[in-house]
Amino acid sequence: MAAAKAVHATIVMVGLDSSVEAEGLDRVDLLLPGGRLPLTWYEAGYVKMLPMTSMPLRPMDTLGYPGRTYKLLNGSTVYPFGYGLSYTQFNYTLIAAVEVKHVDKRDRSEVVFVYSKPPDGIVGTHAKQVIGFERVVAKAGQRMEVNG
């Protein structure tokens, strides 16, 4: 662990094989599928706040532990759970279902997340929790209800 703390740079090597990245497979448009992060990216100082032996998920204010997972973290993040780009804009309205209106000029897909948040004053519970999600494909200007 001491060696990891002394490192000034991290190298991440990723790549695609020739079934995805090859001549003849070049993109001809930007109709990319919507994608969201399935995890939380914490700030660099996050690892200094928690010893490797700390297993609790909930924040421990007496020890300065910020908590873990998008549900319980009481600190800041680089990218929160569910963050992602859709190359367009959607407006959400919560009714008995979630009303989604696609407000761009191009057809696109979007992953709609619905979170619950406990009432104020409840101590020691999650900050938010995913209670539903659904991928929708929307035409430009389309309004729809999502029940997922």
- What residue ranges of the chain are covered by domains with CATH 2.60.40.10? 87-148
| Per-residue confidence band for 72, with pLDDT thresholds at 50, 70 and 90 | confident
Q: For 83-90, what is the mean pLDDT? A: 75
Distance CA 32, CA 110 (A): 11
Residue 44 has pLDDT above 60, yes or no: yes
Residue 54 has pLDDT above 50, yes or no: yes
Q: What size, in residues, is the chain?
A: 148
Spatial neighbors of 105 by CB under 8 A, at least 6 apart, are 140, 141
Q: Which of 83, 82, 80 is nearest to 40 (CA)?
A: 80
Per-residue pLDDT, 82: 78
Q: For 29-51, what is the mean pLDDT? A: 72
Q: What is the mean pLDDT of the chain?
A: 77
Q: What is the pLDDT of residues 106-135, one digit of tens each?
A: 888 888 888 888 888 877 788 888 888 888
What CATH code is assigned to 87-148? Answer: 2.60.40.10
* CB neighbours of residue 22 within 10 Å: 10
Angstrom CA distances, 58 to 62, 65, 66, 117, 122, stand at: 12, 8, 8, 16, 13
| Per-residue confidence band for 13, with pLDDT thresholds at 50, 70 and 90 | low
Residue 144 has pLDDT above 80, yes or no: yes
